[in-house]
Amino acid sequence: MVEPTLVLYGALYEKAVEALEETLRETGARYALLVDRKGFVLAHKEALWAPKPPPLDSLATLAAGNAAATQALAKLLGEVRFQEILHQGERIGLYMDEAGDHALLLLVFDESAPLGKVKLYGKRAAEALARLVEEAIANPPKLNLDTEYREGAKALLDELFGN
């Protein structure tokens, strides 16, 4: 059964954004994203002081691809998975942790953020977000998508691709 990805919205979305906001405050990171394993952005937050982030779709897709590859690598080595991934450049670092089975937390930080805090609060945020994602999966919102939606989407397809 193929399901479209319907991302968090409503109260769960608000809670996820709050958690990301809090994590930014506690860690001093630039950007925080909750991304699903398919590479779709579920929620994101940028620190006000931080420069404009790179395209988030690209960030999310590459991170999800990276996490998938790393997990396959872990399996090859006899582990179920590596829990957290840390990429550290000269100035910018990327912290990735699992938010449950279906999502990932990404934190982008620079040298102004202490790594210990990033890891400590990143781990906590990942656990809190995992619970939100579980809740969203357990209680999928009523979509009420019907013929009207399909007709509307078809019209947009015609507009974009021509008849």
Partner 1 sequence: MSTINFANREINFKIVYYGPGLSGKTTNLKWIYGKIPEGRKGEMISLATEDERTLFFDFLPLDLGEVKGFKTRFHLYTVPGQVFYNASRKLILRGVDGIVFVADSAPNRLRANAESMRNMRENLAEYGLKLEDLPIVLQVNKRDLPDALPVEMVRAVVDPEGRFPVFEAVATEGKGVFETLKEVSRLVLARVGSGA
Phi and psi at 38, nearest 5°, equal -80, -10
Residues 18 and 125: beta-carbon distance below 8 Å: no
In single-letter form, the type of residue at position 33 comes to L
Q: Among the candidate windows 67-75, 77-85, 118-126, 131-139, which touches partner 1 by CB under 8 A?
A: 67-75
Residues 91 and 130: beta-carbon distance below 8 Å: no
Minimum distance, C-beta of residue 141 to partner 1, in the bound complex (Å): 8
Q: Is 87 in the site for partner 1 (CB under 8 A)?
A: no
Phi and psi at 40, nearest 5°, equal -95, 140
Q: Is 148 in the site for partner 1 (CB under 8 A)?
A: yes
Residues 137 and 102: beta-carbon distance below 8 Å: yes
Closer of 120 and 157 to partner 1 (Cβ)? 157
Q: Which of 18, 61, 84, 117 binds partner 1 (CB under 8 A)?
A: 61
Q: Of 53, 45, 42, 8, which Cα lies nearest the Cα of 23? A: 45
The Cα angle at residue 148 between residues 146 and 154, in degrees rounded to 5: 110
Minimum distance, C-beta of residue 46 to partner 1, in the bound complex (Å): 7
Q: Among the candidate windows 42-50, 80-88, 112-120, 131-139, which touches partner 1 by CB under 8 A?
A: 42-50
Minimum distance, C-beta of residue 128 to partner 1, in the bound complex (Å): 18
In single-letter form, the type of residue at position 135 comes to E
Closer of 131 and 150 to partner 1 (Cβ)? 150
Q: 144: left (phi > 0), else alpha (psi -120 to 50), else beta?
A: left
Q: Is 77 in the site for partner 1 (CB under 8 A)?
A: no
Which residues lie near partner 1 (CB under 8 A)? Answer: 1-2, 4-9, 13-14, 17, 36-44, 46, 52-53, 55-58, 61-62, 65, 68-69, 72, 143-146, 148-150, 152-154, 156-157, 159-162
